[in-house]
Amino acid sequence: MGAENATAAVDPQLISDLISANHILYDQGVLDAFGHVSVRHDKDPQRFLLARNMAPALVTAADIVEFQLDGTAINGAGRAVYLERFIHGEIYRARADVMAVVHSHSPAVVPFSAVQTSPLRALCHMAGFLGTSTPIYEIRDFAGDGSDLLITDNRLGASLAQVLGQRSVVLMRGHGSTAVADSLVTAVYRAVYTEINARIQTDALRLGPVNFMSEAEGRSTAQTIEGQGKRAWDLWKKTAELRCAELAAAQTAV
């Protein structure tokens, strides 16, 4: 047996939670046919788990693939994998505190990736983790002009991780965003509330000058409210499973 196979098996609960995360993020409008969510392996920090290349709403346990941080699939068995898996591996490599990553194209966030004069920042208390600004990854700075805007190799993944720095969310110009956290529950929470805050911020900006939350309020609210994230997860999981069970049944019937 090669060294790459020596890691203990992943906790089945983690697989189950990763499936729920896929379904929740679809049901909450953060992921559609595209985007993905990963979790770091609970026994080996040099590995992470991510679905094969498919729509998140349809992910089952059989679709979860284990990866090395360089994006190499360990048990891919010839299955197609996500082109942008390097986002996940390079963030896990750069940030030992990060246990889960969500990459999405959720629509209310994308305008803030393209308008530098209007930074995405915490406006509502549920999104204190955004603080007073959100970094924007400009892929032209790293790939030049004419790229497909995707993070398709380790070098681009590492540059994205560098722009993320120690923040919770990084915007990707003309593309989407990536949210990170120390747990799957919190990463899902942040991805959902990044989209909600973006929607609210766009609404508020139409009304007039906005009284945003301060950096200190962001820290305090994040500390208090993110501890309650399981309440949202439990509700979102129930509604997502109802919808995804219907999808799975329809798929079987075809």
Cβ neighbours of 93 (radius 10 Å): 18
DSSP state of 214: P
Amino acid identity, position 246: E
How far apart CA 82 and CA 79 sit, in angstroms, is 10
Token pair listed for 79? 């299955």
Token pair listed for 248? 């799975």
For 192-209, letters b (16+ CB in 10 Å) and e give bbbbbbbebbbeeeeeee
Catalytic amino acids? 84
Cβ neighbours of 150 (radius 10 Å): 16
89: helix, strand or coil: helix
Question: What sections of the chain are H helices per DSSP?
Answer: 12-27, 85-94, 110-114, 140-143, 154-164, 184-207, 215-225, 229-253
Strand partners, 101: 38, 180
